[in-house]
């Protein structure tokens, strides 16, 4: 039995971490912390768990084996490092951190303390993505030549625990990055995962096209990001992330191979559609991907608990996620410099 605590009780904790821990027979939710004490007290009373007045009290509690870090972006590294140094396993929400140096320190601290550090990249765990990865590895569409992957919706204004035009996602001091860190990191990481490859070069454009604060001033983080990526194996493609898709959410990926094309979450009926070079069509009806308006079980908590119970590696382990974070920060550098950036 893995005894867990949750640090940060905002929307992601309430719709995913808390219910998914409670649903896992090998996990026991011990307590909660939130800087808004009234929020954590209400939830602690509701679920009959401990309300910690300070997250350090949770980290010092020997009855806690592992913690979820569900804080705003600028607190991920600090609290994760403290938790690992206190001997706790950690599941940290994405983005891992707000700069690459902190990401590297987090990974180093986990290794030095012999603790698990997983990052909540739930797109690695969807049925269609897992099956698509297998099909690609089995050479069904041949070698990947190019790709396009997209994640766009209407924005985080209604998603946050404190919704509105001044949502923390738009606060540069807290979020650091905009849609690139919120949605773009998912699809950047997905390309590495699906292709069993690594992005080594990026040319990026980041822009604030429409989002505004209550004052009417443009937000200080990007609401749209487009990156042109090149992978180690030679594939090229685009990653688009947007908070200004004012209609249906788009969470699709298309892989163009030497033997055919694979479309993932790009059709209302079939999760995967394959059109081979010889004209053969193969469709897979697996599931619908979750959206902001239709939250389903992410699988992240089950993956975390299973990893700890069995002491095994995970597709969410920090070493698998670091290459994606390198691509994100390289993309920011590409935009700032106006040049193509190679990733060391």
pLDDT score at 3: 98
**pLDDT per residue over 178-232, tens digit each?**
999 999 999 999 999 999 999 999 999 999 999 999 999 999 999 999 999 999 9
More confident residue, 314 or 289: 314
309 contacts: CB under 8 Å, gap ≥ 6:
2, 26
Cβ count within 10 A of residue 278: 7
- Three-class DSSP category at 60: coil
Q: Of 58, 48, 54, 56, which is closest to residue 22 (Cα–Cα)?
A: 48
pLDDT at 294 over 90: no
Percentage of residues of the chain with pLDDT beyond 70: 97
Query: In this structure, are residues 88 and 28 in contact, taking their beta carbons and an 8 Å threshold?
Result: no
- Three-class DSSP category at 255: strand
Q: Going from the N-terminus, what domains does the chain have, and what CATH number goes with each?
A: 2-119 (3.40.50.720), 124-293+313-342 (3.30.360.10)
pLDDT score at 320: 97
- Give the sheet arrangement for strand 2-7, strand by strand: 50-51, 27-33, 2-7, 66-69, 89-92, 117-119
Structure tokens, 136: 């690609």
pLDDT score at 290: 53
pLDDT score at 186: 98
Structure tokens, 331: 């993309």
**pLDDT per residue over 117-168, tens digit each?**
999 999 999 999 999 999 999 999 999 999 999 999 999 998 888 888 999 9
Check residue 296 and give left, alpha or beta (phi > 0: left; psi -120 to 50: alpha). beta
Rounded to the nearest integer, the mean pLDDT of the chain is 95
pLDDT score at 289: 58
Query: Distance between CA 208 and CA 188 in Å, rounded?
Result: 20
Query: In this structure, are residues 314 and 304 in contact, taking their beta carbons and an 8 Å threshold?
Result: yes
pLDDT confidence of 51, banded at 50, 70, 90?
very high
**pLDDT per residue over 52-84, tens digit each?**
999 999 999 999 999 999 999 999 999 999 999
Query: Distance between CA 46 and CA 43 in Å, rounded?
Result: 5
Structure tokens, 83: 């938790």
pLDDT at 293 over 60: no
Query: Distance between CA 282 and CA 290 in Å, rounded?
Result: 23
pLDDT score at 296: 58
**pLDDT per residue over 333-344, tens digit each?**
999 999 999 998
Q: Are strands 66-69 and 89-92 parallel, antiparallel or unpaired?
A: parallel
pLDDT at 41 over 60: yes
- Three-class DSSP category at 204: strand
Query: Distance between CA 328 and CA 50 in Å, rounded?
Result: 37
Query: Distance between CA 32 and CA 59 in Å, rounded?
Result: 11
pLDDT score at 161: 81
Q: In which residue are the tokens 């200004």 written?
A: 244
């Amino acid at each position: 039995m893995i005894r867990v605590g949750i640090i940060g009780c905002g929307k992601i904790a309430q719709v995913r971490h808390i219910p998914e821990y409670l649903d896992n027979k090998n996990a026991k939710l011990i307590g909660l912390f939130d800087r808004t004490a009234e929020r954590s007290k209400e939830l602690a009373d509701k679920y009959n768990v401990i309300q910690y007045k300070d997250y350090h009290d949770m980290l010092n509690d020997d009855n806690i084996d592992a913690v979820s870090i569900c804080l705003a972006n600028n607190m991920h590294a600090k609290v994760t490092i403290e938790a690992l140094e206190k001997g706790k396993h950690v599941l940290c929400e994405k983005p891992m951190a707000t700069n690459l140096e902190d990401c590297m320190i987090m990974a180093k601290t986990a290794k030095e303390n012999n603790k698990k550090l997983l990052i909540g990249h739930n797109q690695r765990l969807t049925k269609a993505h897992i099956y698509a990865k297998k099909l690609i590895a089995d050479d069904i569409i041949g070698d990947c030549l190019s790709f396009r992957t997209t994640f766009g919706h209407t924005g985080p204004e209604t998603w946050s625990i404190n919704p509105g035009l001044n949502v923390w996602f738009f606060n540069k001091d807290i979020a650091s990055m905009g849609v690139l860190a919120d949605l773009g990191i998912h699809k950047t990481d997905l390309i590495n995962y699906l292709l069993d490859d690594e992005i080594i070069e990026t040319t990026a454009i980041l822009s604030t096209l429409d989002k505004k604060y209550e004052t009417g001033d443009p937000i200080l983080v990007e609401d749209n990001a487009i990156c042109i990526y090149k992978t180690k194996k030679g594939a090229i493609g685009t990653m688009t992330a947007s908070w200004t898709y004012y209609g249906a959410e788009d969470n699709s990926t298309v892989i163009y191979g030497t033997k055919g094309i694979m479309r993932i979450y790009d059709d209302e009926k079939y999760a995967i559609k394959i059109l081979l070079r010889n004209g053969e069509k193969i469709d897979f009806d697996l599931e619908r991907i979750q959206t902001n308006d239709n939250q389903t079980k992410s699988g992240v908590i089950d993956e975390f608990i299973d990893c700890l119970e069995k002491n095994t590696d995970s597709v969410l382990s920090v070493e698998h996620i670091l290459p994606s974070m390198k691509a994100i920060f390289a993309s920011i550098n590409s935009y700032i410099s106006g040049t193509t950036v190679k990733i060391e």
